[in-house]
Structure 1
Amino acid sequence: MKQATGFFDSPFNSTDADIDPTSDTAKEVLKQPPATKYELWGYYLYYNGDNGFTINSYMPNIFQYLAYKGGFYSDTPDIKGCDTNDALRQCNIHWMGKPGGIPIASMLLYVQAIAFSLQFLLFTTFGSLADYGRWNRYILLGATVIGCAAQIIPITLVNDDGSHWNAMMGIMIIALISYGTSLVFYAAAFPTLSDNLPAVRKAKADPNLSKDEKLQVTELWRNHVSAVSTVWSNVGFLIMTGVLSGASFKSWENYDFPEDVSHVLGNVPLFNFISTVVCGGFWIINAIPYFIAQPSGRRGGELPEGTNHLTVGWKSIILALKEARKLRYLFMYIISYFMFSDAVSTTNQMIGIIQGEITNFSAQQVTILNLASAVTSIIGCLFFLWIAKRFKVRTKTNLLIIIGLSGLVAVWGCFGIGIDNFGIKTNWELWVFYVWTGLFTAPIWAWQNTMLAELVPKGKENLFFGLFGIVNKASSWIGPVVIGAITEHTDNLWKGWPFVLALFVISIVLVYFIDVDKAKLEMITYIEENPEPSSITETPSTSVNEKTQLE
């Protein structure tokens, strides 16, 4: 059977009229409405708007800025407000009744940890709902409405003197959870959408095709939809960074600019607030077509017998952990992934705090830095793909290189413990960081998925990819808590870099000792002992399944 392999090939060259409705397989396929071009492009556009730009840039900038205005210096605790133009000076904030408060950097990390831990509990408990009934649509719609509102509401605090920094904290937590939820349930919708493309439906119902041939067609279009949607996310990111970068250079005089700072809108705190509104509106515009185009008959199955909404997710995790322990090298990789996922996540959160301090909360610099990151991320992914194909570099080798190069950032940060002008403490270093991580850290998620695919037994993909989604969420809050505590007790955020470095080193050592060839022999034995794929009651929700790729 000839398969479409081109990037611009269409899955709409056939219709349900090409399917013989009399067979049992065809009847099962026809239970779901076919995907339309409008629905597919609506799905792509959704990710175009939900690109995460503001949630990782402007909103943290606003939160940190308001905290500085509402904070105090330890030597003058009765005077509210820290100098936002001298953000490298330690500023404290009142936190849970602690005498003398805690450093703002610690508070910001604790808030991130709270948001991630809540996401872990919510997704683990309710993530499986994405596979059943109409829950995916309802939860995604709710998360979208809340997420867009959370991005627009901060404009109400534009003239706040810092008294309501804790209100922004609440908005930030809600924004992080709703954004994470939108990504999870967006990813959960893609297998059902791609499986109902006309070309896939026709192949599934074709009695002349073998099981493997049907699977090949299904995987082909799943990969196609996943790749194109990711491209659209990057397109949306580029559009927003490009438009807002241009707007940031608009001349502006209605502000008391510090000496030697250009009089442009991008250097005014107002620009952060404007940008969140623009990004929130961009998400709304891009989300509407998908919800309109999604057919009313699109739904998942019923909950399996013996399960309920609160237990199905946890049962899946327990099963996945039991199965993973039968595969030594896969289990090693799960632990390694836990380490480097936490290391990368914590690095990004620390840089988010540091860049606010270095740039004095300049939205213009944040925007341009993110523009550089968007461009270099694309280059980095293509570069490692070229290396793999050109020099036949194995997945494990590539992953080790990527983790090692990413870990050099932590080494670099360690110099900042005792040096004032080096160790990610200057503007030029921020530029190097964004370019470096775009080239050498952005590809980490693609290659870790490829590595996982090499270690997972055929027929158990959903089970173990779902487990990795859980591991991703479980690890995301640990680093911020540890770094927050270190900063709180030492008054030095940079003293947290050795911990991040240790995470990278441990993950590198574990990956190094994974023998992929022996792992494949393990998989053969495992498949012989477990020949049937996991049932639906045993399979973690697809909603958790795709998250590692998307973040």
Structure 2
Amino acid sequence: MSLRDRFLADPFIIEEDDREHDDTKLKQPPVTRKEMWSYYLYYNGDNGYTMFSYIPNILQSLAYRAGINPDTGAPCDMNDTLAPCNISWAGGSMIPVASMMLYVQAISFSIQFLLFTTFGSLADYGRWNRDILLLATIIGCAAQIIPIVLVNNDGSGWGGMMAINIVALISYGTSLVFYGAAFPVLSDNLPAVRHATTDPSLSREEKLAVSEKWRNYVSAWSTIFSNIGFLVMTGVLSGASFYPWYNGDVLGNDPLYNYISTVVCGGYWILNAIPYFIFRPRGRSGPPLPKGSNHLTIGWKSIFVAFREIRKLKYLFLYIFSYFMFSDAVNTTNQMISIVQGEITQFSAQQVTIMNLVSAVTSIIGCFFFLWLSRRFGVKTKTNLLIILFLSGIVAVWGCFGIGLDNFGIKTTWELWAFYAWTGLFTAPIWAWQQTMLAELVPKGKENLFFGLFGVVNKASSWIGPVVIGAITEHTSNLWKGWPFILGLFIIAFALVCLIDVEKAKKQVEEYQKVHPMPDQESMEDDDSLYHGQRHQQEQEQRHELSDKTAVATTSSDSEKYEISP
């Protein structure tokens, strides 16, 4: 599908023909324009911006107000946020605030891993999707608005804010899971797809091609709307940060700005979410749970099946393991930076907002650059991935200098600006290319299984790095000593990708398919029942990891496709 068709085609315009099309036998109601655009609007509001910016900023600043400098025994100095600062933790022990922040991230992601692996099937099957998404939306919006009550807190409320932070991250992650799970059902019930599904003259392959085309279309537009929401929020809040405030200062330099921003982001999510719950028909639901399955075990069974199958595919196993490493490296890098930037900027929400605006712009440029590189010079997927891994790993090398230096090693404001520009240009595209790489290594008919495993790996790796770095910081009182660990993850990931021989991997896949041929399917409706929302969930979560919502992350390669497969 050309770039023009990808964005400007209309799934509600159907070419008339003389053949009979009876879509009354299809189980799902047809999608209306109002439902489709409300679906896009939801993602516009649920852009995740405040979850990784203002809310952690508020928690960290409150913890500093309640903390004690271990060197002097005096309260932490808010004017010297680079000085050591410890806070009481479980059992009454004192740990660095940085360790607490990392442990909070680890707790939230480990809970998400257990919840989504155990109950993720509720998103894919039956009628639970809408109700759970509504509940997650209400909790997520409330978690963004409630912190305003702590605006004048002396730091004693940091424990409550920590709980709010964890709840906010879990509810946000839940919203992505259940929003993503609605995607295949919605796209496959667009008028153009239903028309093709009920066309007796089309072959199964032709029907799949039509469905694939419009799944790409819906995915691209939903991602664009998330990017629009991110850009709107960063743009509006960046402008508001320069509003004149007390004593000739601006609003962005007042701690109140953090709290106002969370309320604005929460309100923006509410306004964009309401239309979806109004225009989504009650009859819209996922397929029934497969016979012999139950919601408590189906997620874990799919993981065991995937690992059992992956042993027969050497290069796919290497790639999954390398992905675990660089996913952990990138996720932990972002969490490290969120802590460092609070200390360096003294929790200035204005600087964080504008930095994120820079990241949003540079990430779009970066994705287009690697797309141009691949098409202009024929750079292969593996080569692009290695380039991105290498350039992303430079951040970890850079951070290592901070172990022994005070003025270099991501320890100054100008370095933060450089980091946001660098990761936007050279790390943001990683999510598109790793998806493409996986598509080249997965056997036909096993896409759902292994993309689902990909989503599980992403969740599983999101808490390991923070725990390790938190422990290192706790025992050394130096957050920067965690950078060598992150560098090691990048090196291992890079080395494993180097070991992958794509051509041999494809031959291995061919041999696998001879033994495990893809079975036929009776209808498009049967295909729907086998589609797992985990794949789209994982793609959406990755788009938010860097807070760099790029409009081309999904469309950066023609080989990145949504497929319906058994």
Asked if residue 61 in structure 1 is aligned to residue 61 in structure 2, the reply is no
Asked if residue 171 in structure 1 is aligned to residue 164 in structure 2, the reply is yes
Please list the CA deviations of residues 24-47 of structure 1 after superposition, one character each: whole Å capped at 9, or x if unmatched: xx565x221011111111111111
Counterpart in the other structure of 1:348: 334
Structure 1 residue 498: Cα displacement: 0.3
Counterpart in the other structure of 1:50: 46
Structure 1 residue 132: Cα displacement: 1.4
Q: Is the 8 A contact 1:19 1:202 kept in 2?
A: no
Asked if residue 413 in structure 1 is aligned to residue 403 in structure 2, the reply is no
User: Which range moves more in the overlay, 55-64 or 136-145?
Assistant: 136-145
Counterpart in the other structure of 1:313: 299
Pick the aligned partner of 2:364 from 378, 381, 387. 378
Distance 1:299 1:69 in 2: 48
Gap change, CA 1:441 and 1:397, over 3 Å in 2: same
Counterpart in the other structure of 1:203: 196
Structure 1 residue 141: Cα displacement: 1.0
Distance 2:493 2:29 in 1: 45
Counterpart in the other structure of 1:542: 532
Counterpart in the other structure of 2:77: 83
Distance 1:3 1:168 in 2: 45
Asked if residue 118 in structure 1 is aligned to residue 111 in structure 2, the reply is yes
Give the letter for the 2:497 counterpart: V
Gap change, CA 1:31 and 1:540, over 3 Å in 2: closer
Distance 1:540 1:279 in 2: 36
Pick the aligned partner of 2:453 from 444, 455, 467. 467
Distance 1:449 1:106 in 2: 32
Please list the CA deviations of residues 261-320 of structure 1 after superposition, one character each: whole Å capped at 9, or x if unmatched: x71110111000000000000000001111111111111222222221111111111111
Distance 2:520 2:479 in 1: 45
Asked if residue 212 in structure 1 is aligned to residue 211 in structure 2, the reply is no
Pick the aligned partner of 1:440 from 426, 435, 447. 426
Asked if residue 500 in structure 1 is aligned to residue 493 in structure 2, the reply is no
Distance 1:317 1:19 in 2: 43
Partner secondary structure for residue 480 of structure 1: helix
Asked if residue 361 in structure 1 is aligned to residue 347 in structure 2, the reply is yes
Give the letter for the 2:161 counterpart: M
Structure 1 residue 20: Cα displacement: 3.3
Distance 2:191 2:364 in 1: 31
Give the letter for the 1:383 counterpart: F
Distance 1:76 1:190 in 2: 55
Counterpart in the other structure of 2:20: 20
Partner secondary structure for residue 90 of structure 2: coil
Give the letter for the 1:96 counterpart: A
Please list the CA deviations of residues 431-477 of structure 1 after superposition, one character each: whole Å capped at 9, or x if unmatched: 00000000000000010000001111111111110000000000000
Counterpart in the other structure of 1:160: 153
Q: Is the 8 A contact 2:41 2:272 kept in 1?
A: yes
| Percentage of pairs with the same residue | 69
Partner secondary structure for residue 93 of structure 1: strand
Counterpart in the other structure of 1:5: 5
Q: Is the 8 A contact 1:123 1:544 kept in 2?
A: no
Asked if residue 241 in structure 1 is aligned to residue 234 in structure 2, the reply is yes
Distance 1:120 1:391 in 2: 40
Aligned pair count reads 537
**TM-score normalized with structure 1 length:** 0.94
Give the letter for the 1:177 counterpart: I
Q: Is the 8 A contact 2:54 2:258 kept in 1?
A: yes
Q: Is the 8 A contact 2:124 2:181 kept in 1?
A: yes
Q: Is the 8 A contact 2:182 2:286 kept in 1?
A: no
Asked if residue 184 in structure 1 is aligned to residue 177 in structure 2, the reply is yes
Structure 1 residue 97: Cα displacement: 2.1
Counterpart in the other structure of 1:258: none
Distance 2:71 2:367 in 1: 48
Asked if residue 451 in structure 1 is aligned to residue 437 in structure 2, the reply is yes
Please list the CA deviations of residues 39-96 of structure 1 after superposition, one character each: whole Å capped at 9, or x if unmatched: 111111111101111001000100000000111111344x4x4222211001000001
Q: CA RMSD in A?
A: 2.2
Distance 1:16 1:456 in 2: 38
Q: Is the 8 A contact 2:6 2:217 kept in 1?
A: no
Pick the aligned partner of 1:37 from 33, 37, 42. 33
Counterpart in the other structure of 2:225: 232
Gap change, CA 1:415 and 1:187, over 3 Å in 2: same
Give the letter for the 1:82 counterpart: C
Give the letter for the 1:396 counterpart: K
Distance 2:77 2:38 in 1: 46
Distance 1:191 1:538 in 2: 7
Give the letter for the 2:372 counterpart: W
Q: Is the 8 A contact 1:304 1:537 kept in 2?
A: no
**TM-score normalized with structure 2 length:** 0.92
Asked if residue 127 in structure 1 is aligned to residue 115 in structure 2, the reply is no
Q: Is the 8 A contact 2:355 2:420 kept in 1?
A: yes
Q: Is the 8 A contact 1:128 1:540 kept in 2?
A: no
Structure 1 residue 540: Cα displacement: 8.2
Q: Is the 8 A contact 1:463 1:534 kept in 2?
A: no
Q: Is the 8 A contact 1:467 1:540 kept in 2?
A: no
Distance 1:121 1:540 in 2: 22
Pick the aligned partner of 2:269 from 283, 287, 310. 283
Partner secondary structure for residue 91 of structure 2: coil
Q: Is the 8 A contact 2:103 2:466 kept in 1?
A: yes
Structure 1 residue 3: Cα displacement: 13
Structure 1 residue 329: Cα displacement: 0.5
Q: Is the 8 A contact 2:181 2:537 kept in 1?
A: no
